[in-house]
Amino acid sequence: MPCLQPEVLESMESMESGSATPARVSTAATAETEESLRMATETKPLMTKGMGWFFSPLWSPRSKTRRRRFEDGMKGNQVEAWLDDHSDFTRAYFLRRASAASAPQTEMSPLQPRLPKSSSDHSCLLKKALHHRRGSSPLSNPHLNISSTSDRLKPLASHRVASEWIDCFTPDVMGCHSPLSPRSSRFTFSQCPPLSPVCPGSPELSHFPLQSQCTTSASTAAECGNGECCPWMRELLRGGLSWMGSVAELCHGAVLHAGELLAAEGCCLFLVKKDSGGRNMLEEAVALMELGGLSEGNLCSHAHMELVKGIMGCVLSTGSPMNLRDVSEDPRFEIDEDPSSKIRTVLSVPIKNHREEVVGVVVMINKRTSSDVSVSVFTNMDEKVLSNHMDVLGMVLDNVQLYESSRQEAKRSQALIEMAQVLSKEHHSFEVLLSKMAATIMPFTRSQYCTIFIPSDQDEDSFSRVIHLECEELGSSCQIYRREHDVSDIDQSYALRTLLAMETLNMFESSDESMKSLICCPVRNERSEDVIAVCQLMSKRSRDSDELEAFNRYDERLLEDLAVYCGLALQYAQAVQITEERRASIEVTQEVLAYHITAAEQEISVLQEATIPSAESLRILDFHFSDFGLPEDMTFQATVRMFLDLNLVQDFNIDYKSLCQWVLTVRRGYRNNVPYHNWNHALSTAQSMFAMLKATNQLQTIFSRSEILALMIATLSHDLDHRGVSNSYIERSQQPLSQLYGHSSLENHHYNLCLFILNNSGSQILSGLSAEEYRSVLQMIKRAILATDLTVYMERRKEFFGLTKKRKVSWKSEKQRDLLRSMLMTASDLSAITKPWHEQKRIANLVSMEFFAQGDKEKEEFKIKPVGIMNRENSTRLPYMQVEYIDDICYPLYKTVSTLFDSCFPLLLGCKKNRENWLHLAKEAEDSENSFCSITLETHDEERSQTEE
């Protein structure tokens, strides 16, 4: 226990009982052996008068009023024996009593625990005390909160920290964790002043067992409190968070106090630090200094320092104290033979935290010789006193380091947030981005210079350019400047070492002329793991002065974080550069596409100046319209006539020349090498929509003018740039279209090309619309084109077919009108099945030609058997497939449309007639197969009979 002074423990407190006379424990009682005292303790219950509060872990001042109940049979020697057996409890009591002595005591309910016979009985005592406490009324201001009734008091280890030997008896009020042990789940402070250790000679404890082997001078006892609390310990524990950040001052005070307490001539203290490889190394915290007896030159000589370092290395490796009463006799160490500077005795103990990890080593040199002793050595009691002091110091150091770690982590988090904010903003160049991120960590690391070296592309062992930043302090703030430097102006040696080694370099050099501190960290490409840059910080300034100091591990981590962000910044810059290049490439491609897709000026003039025939002469009002044999210029004129007769040119102020250019440009958007999905199919689809709209006024009443405009544009553009293959083939072959859109790839592509043409200079037929109308029309065009995907039709047709079951359908709902527009788009797209038989048969052959070509590609590329309608082997089954196509897809749609709108009945009628014709062909094909089989069988019979003859 800290400051254990046997001279001040000459008497014990008087004990009295109800009928017995007071008796004082004499010093002779201490001469009894420890074994006899323990036997006496075990044979008789320890009940004290006036000392029941002393041993109770739930002590309160009120318990002193009931002390007569605890006094029976207690003697001084039994008290001493019990104290010896329960040193951990005694220490806890000392700390608790010191706290109570330095602050007003809070009243508690009187408790009457029975004194246990041994340390193993403490669990029962705690259980009973806790049970008694729960049974009573709640304490308004409790001092104790025992978290577990099963906790048992353990013997005190030589290096146990305060957080362990106070743990079971520590106040826990308001759930506040103690700054001295934040890792402990039970160790918390109450609102009372912080605990302070009690020297054995304090008035609160007038008697304590004497230890014959421990003798110290009266001056030392006076130094440690003169019967009062230990001043250093009290100041340390009461200081709380005031020590945070003052490790050097804390260690210096501890070494001075312990050195004077042990009457040492010299002392020093080193703290444990991990190197880059994770190995423990000692770093000087308090240099070897004189406390008396030796000259400064001799004390700080190189030989002495080497000896001290060797001793501390042994203590660090073993984790155990080392008390050398004569260093010259220890073969492990070589010492100076000069008698005038000879180190005689050395006491070194490890400083441990609550996890029993060594966090430092302290050394005491040459105990000062007293007048009555020729040669003084450090005794076992000195070792114990020093160890106990260092236990408390280790506890505080651990928390100081924890506080420092949390503070550094807060700094690091702030730096990371700032660097992330810089990275998230748009920057014009990669160098500007790196400069801003480097400037964010310079204030955190207190570095004066930051340099980023960019390696050369030609020579891997050199740098092509540098980004150099300098920090200039302006009062409490600092200003970061970027200085233009050539590569040759800056020392590259350390950066080159880092570039070649590809690992962080932390260096600190000190000489009489100059000091240098720097860190170099490689910046890696996350993909290739190549070093793409080297970050270097130089000249770290001290927080309180202008002196240079070494960069610590936290600075290394910040620089490594900067390196990671620099790598991200480089990837970001490269991604931005690639994006810009691709954007430029796309713009160039669009310019080329616009040039080649736009109709020639001469073609536009011809169409613009042509006299447009009437709808009747062009027969575009007829559901049986066919463009077969129609000259191409007449198809353009027919398209223009549709827009004129629907009054779209007048209603939307469409420029006539723009309309002509748009029609011709749309024609150029269709591929000529596709058998079916070409311009003729687009014209036929638009004509079917026009015929349905003009056949009755009902549809023109249901739809607004904008909806009619969107439908006509969508029908003409719904298959732009069709490749003659289906969506399934595009997805299976992983074409860019499937990667770009995911689903309905062709339909999305058709819409985007439609939008490109509408925005092309000279083809902007929607320029007369307001912004809101423009967005609305584009949205309707997109939905109408996507509706031509048969997958979408199959998903929505059940809802549309259900409309026929209603007596009256309300088309005021946008949802209902959108459904109607989608179904009319499909009806127009499939209208070839309603054309006259000769036209239907011609178109069916074109469709089968396109489908069989895709099937051949699938066989060759994917080595699979195509579906039935795309398998060329099923070409003879075309009539059967057409009948199935009509029954499954077409007939239900046209039946519903004709039911809702009588004027569309010709579509249903044409579909029925074509079904009958295809069914007739299917029967003929079946009869032909049967007759072929019959002829073949007869031929075989004749050959067989001739053979037999």
The catalytic residue positions are 677
Query: What is each CA distance from 896 to 170, 400, 684, 697, 700, in whole angstroms?
Result: 85, 83, 21, 18, 18
Q: What angle do CA 468, 469, 474 make, to 5 degrees?
A: 160
Q: What is the DSSP letter of 20?
A: S
d(CA 453, CA 449): 13
- C-alpha closest to that of 171 among 42, 59, 4: 59
- C-alpha closest to that of 276 among 545, 552, 675: 552
Burial of 886 (0-12, 13-18, 19+ CB in 10 A): buried
Query: What is each CA distance from 248 to 97, 220, 289, 378, in whole angstroms?
Result: 30, 25, 14, 26
Q: Determine the length of the chain.
A: 949
Query: What is each CA distance from 918 to 428, 684, 766, 873, 878, in whole angstroms?
Result: 67, 22, 43, 19, 9
Any idea of the CA torsion for 374, 375, 377, 380, to the nearest 10 degrees?
Answer: -40
d(CA 177, CA 184): 8
Residue 404: beta bridge partners?
none
Q: Which two tokens stand for residue 97?
A: 């009593």
Tell me if 537 sits within 8 A of 449, measured CB to CB.
Answer: yes
φ and ψ of 531, to 5 deg: -80, 120
Burial of 929 (0-12, 13-18, 19+ CB in 10 A): exposed
Return all residues near 685 (Cβ < 8 A) that are at least 6 apart.
715, 716, 718, 719, 828, 829, 831
Three-class DSSP labels, 87-120: HHHHHHHHHHHHHHHCCCCCCCCCCCCCCCCCHH
Return all residues near 206 (Cβ < 8 A) that are at least 6 apart.
11, 12, 13
Tell me if 396 sits within 8 A of 357, measured CB to CB.
Answer: no
- C-alpha closest to that of 29 among 47, 12, 6, 8: 12
d(CA 490, CA 451): 9
Query: Treating both helix axes as pointing N-terminal to C-terminal, what angle do 745-759 and 705-717 enclose, rounded to 10 degrees?
Result: 110
SS3 540: strand
Tell me the residue ranges of DSSP E strands in 387-546: 447-455, 463-474, 477-483, 505-510, 515-524, 531-541
d(CA 141, CA 102): 18
Q: Which two tokens stand for residue 355?
A: 């996890």
Query: Treating both helix axes as pointing N-terminal to C-terminal, what angle do 656-668 and 705-717 enclose, rounded to 10 degrees?
Result: 30
d(CA 598, CA 601): 9
DSSP string, 790-845: HHHHHHHHHHHHGGGGSSS----SHHHHHHHHHHHHHHHHTGGGGS-HHHHHHHHH
Q: What angle do CA 735, 741, 744 make, to 5 degrees?
A: 90
Distance, CA of 375 to chain centre = 64
Q: What is the DSSP letter of 543?
A: S
- C-alpha closest to that of 391 among 666, 659, 91: 91
d(CA 388, CA 97): 18
